[in-house]
């Protein structure tokens, strides 16, 4: 069963609303978001702005695994793929209300992010630091690999709006979809003009 979702209509951002932004890939809500929290359904005591992106598909996504590996070989392959996806990404400017529990969650994630950033910096710079000369060359190289691996969760921990909003802009930029919201959020969203969103299910191909 697909998880329950709520969809809000989006419109193009007008030049008079934000002169400095790229209006081609920017959207704005037609309605106001609920005053309660997405995760807990509690009345929001704090608000923040988030630019919710879409997840556009590119031709590379439809390739088989061997062809993806072959197409990834080359100094500019990754850069071109990222540029193609970025050029198709649409962002919606949104304003969310969150409860004290979510605010504490955001604060905890920021503290964790700072710890991970510091730890990653120490590990990555360790192999070239004079203070690490007592460590053999082999383990020092291993520290660099560990630091690079640790950088991935560090970067992901820096952003919390996905967990707080559970939102994603549709690929065509017409709707903001909030997945699995609290029933109180969903009920207020319907009264504000949102609709219940049912994702399309692609039937399995017969063998």
User: pLDDT tens digits for 173-207?
Assistant: 999 999 999 999 999 999 999 998 876 655 544 44
- For 58, residues 6+ apart whose C-beta sits below 8 A from its C-beta are 81, 84, 85, 88
Nearest Cα residue to 153 out of 127, 115, 125: 115
Residue keyed to tokens 């399309």 = 200
Angle CA 94–154–92, to nearest 5: 15
State the average pLDDT over residues 141-153. 65
Distance separating the N- and C-terminal Cα atoms of the chain: 24
| Domains in the chain: boundaries | 5-54+89-197, 61-87
Q: pTM for this one?
A: 0.72
At 49-84, the pLDDT tens digits run 889 999 888 877 777 887 777 766 766 667 777 888
Sign of the C-alpha dihedral computed for residues 52, 28, 19 and 17 taken in this order:
negative
Task: Take residue 47 and report the two structure tokens written for it.
Answer: 């608000």
More confident residue, 19 or 107: 107
Task: Take residue 139 and report the two structure tokens written for it.
Answer: 């383990």
Task: Take residue 197 and report the two structure tokens written for it.
Answer: 């969103």
The phi, psi pair for 153, rounded to 5°, reads -65, -25
At 8-28, the pLDDT tens digits run 999 987 766 665 566 678 898
d(CA 185, CA 41): 6
């Amino acid at each position: 069963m697909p998880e329950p979702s709520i969809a809000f209509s989006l419109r193009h951002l007008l030049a008079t609303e934000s002169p400095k932004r790229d209006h081609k890939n920017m959207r704005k809500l037609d309605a106001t978001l609920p005053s309660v929290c997405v995760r807990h359904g509690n009345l929001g005591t704090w608000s923040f702005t988030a630019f919710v992106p879409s997840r556009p598909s590119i031709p590379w996504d439809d390739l088989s695994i061997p062809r993806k590996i072959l197409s990834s070989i080359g100094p500019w392959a990754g850069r071109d793929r990222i540029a193609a996806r970025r050029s198709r990404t649409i962002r919606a400017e949104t304003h969310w209300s969150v409860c004290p529990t979510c605010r504490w969650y955001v604060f905890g994630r920021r503290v964790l992010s700072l710890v991970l950033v510091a730890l990653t910096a120490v590990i990555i710079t360790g192999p070239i630091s004079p203070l690490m000369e007592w460590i053999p060359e082999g383990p020092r190289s291993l520290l660099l690999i560990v630091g690079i691996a640790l950088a991935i969760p560090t970067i992901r921990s820096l952003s919390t709006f996905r967990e707080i909003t559970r939102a994603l802009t549709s690929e065509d930029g017409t709707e903001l979809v909030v997945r699995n919201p609290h029933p109180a959020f969903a009920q207020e969203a319907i009264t504000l003009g949102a609709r219940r969103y049912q994702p399309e299910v692609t039937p399995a191909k017969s063998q």
